[in-house]
Structure 1
Amino acid sequence: MASNLRAKTAIISKTLTRPRPAGAFYAVSSSYISTSSADTAASAAASSSSQSPHDKEKGSKWTRWFLFLPGAITFGLGTWQIFRRQDKIKVLDYRLKRLEMEPLKLNGMSHSSEILETLEFRRVVCKGVFDNGRSIYIGPRSRSICGVTENGYYVITPLMRIPGDAESVQSPVLVNRGWVPRSWRDKSFEVPEDREKSSSMDAVPAPPNEQSWWRIFQSKKQKTVKDQASAITSVEVIGVARGSEKPSIFVPANDPNSGQWFYVDVPAIAVSCGLPKDTLLIEDINENFNPSNPYPIPKDVNSLIHSSVMPQDHLNYTLTWYSLSAAVTFMAFKRLKPKISRR
């Protein structure tokens, strides 16, 4: 390339020494400029052609990494399911061991927050009287009966102490009595209206000449109510201590003011019932219910050792993710194999 440049320089110098008419110099110089620009373009093309293989090789490395990225992600998901399966096995074994313990009696037990944490998934026995007027309905919750799905609710009722009975609970307890149909909730909303009407009728003052008779009638009425209260048989509840539910993002928020409860929030339910926040919640698992009045239907104890995703499901997910990872990785190798053979 240098020898060609020297020869061209010599030719130009000879040409310039000769006498030329006007305008000849510009022709020669223009021919030189065009020749030199062509050489410059050729050298630039050569340099670009020398750099393109390096850039292609650099880009192919990134492409390889991206081809193997889906296989790495699916492999990680399969490994994560293995750890999830081990955790689920430990949780279910813990619940099963707690349920196999002897039931505890709550007649003389104080309800502190520390004790409540140690009682979860323990079977307990408590005796008292249900305060049906302060029942809370959680739902709607569907239930399949003989292949027919019916919407209903879980009813939570405070269990109050029996005055003068040392065997009854000394502090109120919330009891999830089980599933009830929608009609139960509708009737509970009608009861307060009837109570308001009866209270308004009782508030009507009696004439002066009838006050004595009214007092006698009122005293008899109060005595009848006391007799009925004493005649109410106490209930013994066998249940399992539970905590609050953890709702998903699709579950609406509870609205205590309107009586809408979509999930179990023990402190909020206790406050709504006029009870302390640290009130204990137990789920009734007593299977001895009256056939003539089957509602509420208590929860099955097997549901407490059952999860929406069981360990076998985690194992199936693991095999699925690993199979997908192997398939995607094999496709990546298959995609790169022709390029390797050509090189």
Structure 2
Amino acid sequence: MRGLFIFYNKTATSLKHRAFAFYVSRSNALPRLHLIQHTAGRQCSSVAAAGAEKDTFFKWFLLLIPVTTFGLGTWQVKRRQWKLELINDLTRLTTAEPVALPSDPHELNSLEYRRVKTRGRFDHSKELYIMPRSPVDPEREAREAGSISSSGQIGANVITPFYCTDLGITILVNRGYVPRQKVKPETRMKGQVEKEVEVVGIVRLTEERKPFVPNNDVQKNRWHYRDLEAMAQLTGAEPIFIDADFASTIPGGPIGGQTRVTLRNEHMQYIMTWYGLCAATSYMWYAKFITKIKI
């Protein structure tokens, strides 16, 4: 009996120690478990907040697309209005009553496309040729706008020194267009008038060579753009240039009225394009972020 009692006491003591140790271990583990749960909760909240912030940024960033296209469309509306006013101004200038041609080239800097008149004689021995050129025909050009090929003939514009008897100076006059087979003066002798005539024309200023336009070939008398300084130096004229109007055409000579005053006005196409993109992207943004429709 005594041995059994001793065994019982040892067993009970061992169980108490184990229970106490488990209690202590559990008491120490609970705070750590709460800490882990709290930390995990904070991390999940941070991830969710970061995801929400990223979605918000993406949402408002994409809104820049319809806003930008709307701004571009509005800008094209203003550009179209500016172009229409410019076309109207050019039309008004080229149809106004002609004024006397000033003798000072500097006065002409503000008179481009202005109609002027003067009297004098042509010096046909110093003709210059701007080529290749097609005849100006506003109605035909309007019909063929945007087409790859053109039905117009190819020829040249004849530039002739003109001594102004009323001013005592020599200027350059674009007498007009001649077809290729009529470039040489001997093929159109009837139009090489020698008497004094009145010329009404439109003031033009010098041109800068555009990209892909060949350089002027002075030796071969082939001019590709209007270089007034070089032309004036070669012919001994003042750097004053006018396009003779159609009424100044001499029978058998070049056809006057070769001033192109038509300007490209494609702004309406741009307006429709930008506003169309604005409408489409606005709908996509609204469907994606407001109504939550899957696109």
TM-score, L = length of structure 1: 0.60
SS of the equivalent of 2:236 reads coil
- Give the aligned length: 254
Q: CA deviation at 1:315?
A: 3.9
User: What residue number does 2:147 align with?
Assistant: none
Q: CA deviation at 1:282?
A: 0.7
User: What residue number does 1:236 align with?
Assistant: 198
Within the alignment, does 1:103 sit opposite 2:121 as a pair? Answer: no
User: What residue number does 1:152 align with?
Assistant: 155
SS of the equivalent of 2:90 reads helix
User: What residue number does 1:214 align with?
Assistant: none
What is the CA–CA distance in structure 2 between the aligned matches of 1:262 and 1:39, rounded to whole Å?
A: 88
User: What residue number does 2:7 align with?
Assistant: none
The answer (yes or no) to whether the contact 2:98–2:117 under 8 Å persists in 1 is yes
What is the CA–CA distance in structure 2 between the aligned matches of 1:268 and 1:139, rounded to whole Å?
A: 16
Alignment of 1:188-227 (within 5 A): none
SS of the equivalent of 1:149 reads coil
Q: 1:60 to 1:184 in 2, by over 3 A?
A: farther
Q: Deviations over 1:231-251 (max 9, x none)?
A: 932332111112234665454
What is the CA–CA distance in structure 1 between the aligned matches of 2:90 and 2:73, rounded to whole Å?
A: 26
CA RMSD between the two structures: 4.0
User: What residue number does 1:332 align with?
Assistant: 285
Q: Deviations over 1:94-130 (max 9, x none)?
A: 3344344432234xx42240x2134322222222222
Q: 1:326 to 1:248 in 2, by over 3 A?
A: farther
SS of the equivalent of 2:247 reads coil
User: What residue number does 1:225 align with?
Assistant: none
Q: 1:89 to 1:338 in 2, by over 3 A?
A: closer
The answer (yes or no) to whether the contact 2:122–2:194 under 8 Å persists in 1 is no
Comparing 170-179 with 238-247, greater Cα deviation is found at: 238-247
The answer (yes or no) to whether the contact 1:237–1:286 under 8 Å persists in 2 is no
The answer (yes or no) to whether the contact 2:133–2:154 under 8 Å persists in 1 is yes
What is the CA–CA distance in structure 2 between the aligned matches of 1:71 and 1:103, rounded to whole Å?
A: 50
Q: CA deviation at 1:49?
A: 3.3
User: What residue number does 1:87 align with?
Assistant: 82
What is the CA–CA distance in structure 2 between the aligned matches of 1:335 and 1:101, rounded to whole Å?
A: 58
Ranges in structure 1 where 5+ consecutive residues have no aligned partner: 12-35, 162-166, 191-230
What is the CA–CA distance in structure 2 between the aligned matches of 1:65 and 1:77, rounded to whole Å?
A: 19
Structure 2 counterpart of 1:72, one-letter code: V
Q: Deviations over 1:123-143 (max 9, x none)?
A: 222222223333332232234
The answer (yes or no) to whether the contact 2:244–2:256 under 8 Å persists in 1 is yes
Within the alignment, does 1:180 sit opposite 2:178 as a pair? Answer: yes
1:63 to 58, 61, 83: 58
Q: 1:126 to 1:329 in 2, by over 3 A?
A: same
Within the alignment, does 1:299 sit opposite 2:257 as a pair? Answer: yes
User: What residue number does 2:241 align with?
Assistant: 281
More helix by percentage = 1
User: What residue number does 2:3 align with?
Assistant: none
Q: CA deviation at 1:53?
A: 1.8
Q: Deviations over 1:308-341 (max 9, x none)?
A: 22xxx43453244223212221122112235499
SS of the equivalent of 1:150 reads coil
What is the CA–CA distance in structure 1 between the aligned matches of 2:53 and 2:136, rounded to whole Å?
A: 61
Q: Deviations over 1:278-297 (max 9, x none)?
A: x2211111336455x2x422
What is the CA–CA distance in structure 1 between the aligned matches of 2:178 and 2:228, rounded to whole Å?
A: 19
User: What residue number does 1:323 align with?
Assistant: 276
Structure 1 counterpart of 2:287, one-letter code: K
User: What residue number does 2:121 align with?
Assistant: 129
Q: CA deviation at 1:159?
A: 1.0
The answer (yes or no) to whether the contact 1:142–1:150 under 8 Å persists in 2 is yes
Q: Deviations over 1:63-98 (max 9, x none)?
A: 223422332222122111222123223323333443
Q: 1:62 to 1:142 in 2, by over 3 A?
A: farther
The answer (yes or no) to whether the contact 1:111–1:171 under 8 Å persists in 2 is no
The answer (yes or no) to whether the contact 1:137–1:155 under 8 Å persists in 2 is yes
Within the alignment, does 1:50 sit opposite 2:45 as a pair? Answer: yes
1:7 to 20, 25, 34: 25
Ranges in structure 2 where 5+ consecutive residues have no aligned partner: 1-21, 141-149, 187-192
SS of the equivalent of 2:120 reads strand
TM-score, L = length of structure 2: 0.68
Identical-pair percentage: 33
Q: Deviations over 1:159-186 (max 9, x none)?
A: 124xxxxx4441111111222223445x
Structure 2 counterpart of 1:159, one-letter code: F
Comparing 256-265 with 74-83, greater Cα deviation is found at: 256-265
The answer (yes or no) to whether the contact 1:144–1:150 under 8 Å persists in 2 is no
